[in-house]
């Protein structure tokens, strides 16, 4: 349980971080909350030669709303996101995701950027970002890239971030009040990773579903967008029948394996059920303002 030897740096600016990542390409890893990386280092599943601690880098935990999006800095903790007044007031679905991650200790230390960069197949943020169409901002010494969530999660613990880049911000879509979102998480015990998590975002126009976003976590080797379920909803009235059909379509895209969290058959059924429950709540929220 003791990590291999490593060097440690505590830069004060993003440029200094990026210079270190370039100079030690492939050897350096950034440390954000440490709630995923440090356990891996103790188990020697990760052995970075240099740990670049982000704690002194200013301005990486800002949360602000622009005309187009809600911008959350990579170093914002799950708790900061959950408790932020704009998030609580206008983005209940994002508050729901943040408030359901781990336990208070995990939420106090774990960060949104660390979670997204780590890309655990059962993590909560990716499902929400796939449903929302969130954009993820990666910065290198040469400039910034804005990567859509649907192009970002490449596989288990694998993302589109280059080793010389820092994830600096995520941008959730700023939406009209007639768009509702919800996140429904099935966990064995409070504080556990998701057995299945379903994030949904529904936009209603004239009583019909104009667009739908659905992200599922916990069952495939990486969180995925349930595109077949989304397509099944567009143009329909938000009804139980439509939600059930979408749930079945999402389950059809799930390829779970049996493990301590349940059998493959059970998990697939839960994908359908969590999708339906999430859609009901998303529709309720959208209908309140439609």
Q: Which of 101, 136, 198, 283 binds ligand FAD (CB under 6 A)?
A: 101
Of 23-31, 174-182, 226-234, 243-251, the window that binds ligand FAD (rule: CB under 6 A) is: 23-31
- Is 251 a binding residue for ligand FAD by CB under 6 A? The answer is no
Q: How far is the CB of 2 from ligand FAD (least distance, A)?
A: 17
Q: What CA–CA distance (Å, rounded) separates 60 from 15?
A: 12
- The pattern of x and - marking residues 123 through 162 that bind ligand FAD according to CB under 6 A reads xxx-----------------------------------x-
Contact segment (CB under 6 A) with ligand FAD among 120-128, 227-235, 242-250, 282-290 equals 120-128
Closest Cα to residue 187, out of 121, 261, 120, 251? 261
Residues between 215 and 234 that touch ligand FAD (CB under 6 A): none
**Span of 27-35, 87-95, 170-178, 245-253 interacting with ligand FAD by CB under 6 A:** 27-35
Chain positions 160 to 179 lying near ligand FAD, rule: CB under 6 A, are: 161, 166-167
Q: Residues binding ligand FAD: what is the number (CB under 6 A)?
A: 28
Phi-psi region for residue 197, left (φ > 0), alpha (ψ -120 to 50) or beta? beta
Cβ burial, residue 22 (10 Å; 0-12/13-18/19+): middle
Asked if 35 interacts with ligand FAD (CB under 6 A), we say yes
Least gap, CB of 46 to ligand FAD (angstroms): 7
Range list of β-strands (E), 39-89: 50-53, 63-65, 69-73
Residue number, 125 or 152, with CB nearest to ligand FAD:
125
User: What are the E-state strand segments in 162-278?
Assistant: 166-173, 179-186, 196-205, 208-217, 224-225
Q: Are 36 and 111 in contact (CB under 8 A)?
A: no
The residue among 125 and 224 lying less far from ligand FAD, judged by its C-beta, is 125
Q: 38 to 77, contacts with ligand FAD by CB under 6 A?
A: 74
- Identify the burial level of 200 via C-beta atoms within 10 angstroms of its C-beta, where 0-12 means exposed, 13-18 middle and 19 or more buried: buried
Residue 102 found at the interface with ligand FAD (CB under 6 A): yes
Among 18, 69, 72, 111, binds ligand FAD (CB under 6 A): 111
């Amino acid at each position: 349980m003791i990590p291999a030897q490593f060097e440690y740096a505590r830069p004060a600016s993003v440029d200094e971080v990026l210079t270190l990542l370039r100079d030690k390409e492939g050897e350096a890893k950034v440390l954000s909350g440490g709630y995923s990386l440090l356990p891996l280092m103790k188990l020697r599943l990760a052995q970075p030669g240099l740990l670049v601690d982000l704690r002194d880098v200013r301005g990486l935990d800002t949360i602000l709303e622009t005309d187009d999006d809600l911008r959350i800095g990579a170093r914002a903790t799950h708790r900061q996101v959950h408790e932020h007044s704009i998030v609580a007031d206008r983005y209940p679905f994002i508050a729901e995701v943040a408030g359901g991650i781990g336990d208070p200790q995990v939420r106090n230390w774990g960060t949104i950027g660390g979670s997204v960069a780590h890309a655990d197949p059962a993590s909560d943020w990716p499902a929400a970002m796939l449903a929302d169409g969130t954009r993820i901002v990666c910065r290198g010494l040469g400039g910034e890239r804005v990567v859509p969530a649907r192009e970002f999660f490449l596989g288990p613990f694998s993302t589109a971030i280059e080793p010389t880049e820092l994830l600096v911000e995520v941008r959730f879509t700023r939406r009209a009040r007639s768009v509702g979102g919800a996140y429904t998480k099935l966990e064995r015990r409070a504080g556990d990773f998701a057995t299945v998590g379903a994030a949904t975002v529904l936009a209603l126009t004239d009583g019909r579903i104009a667009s739908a976003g659905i992200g599922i976590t916990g069952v495939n080797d990486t969180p995925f967008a349930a595109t077949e379920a989304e397509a099944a909803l567009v143009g329909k009235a938000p009804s139980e029948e439509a939600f059930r059909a979408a749930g079945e379509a999402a389950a059809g895209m799930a390829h779970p394996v049996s493990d301590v969290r349940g059998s493959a058959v059970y998990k697939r059924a839960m994908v359908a059920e969590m999708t339906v429950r999430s859609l009901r709540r998303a529709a309720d929220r959208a209908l309140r303002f439609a």
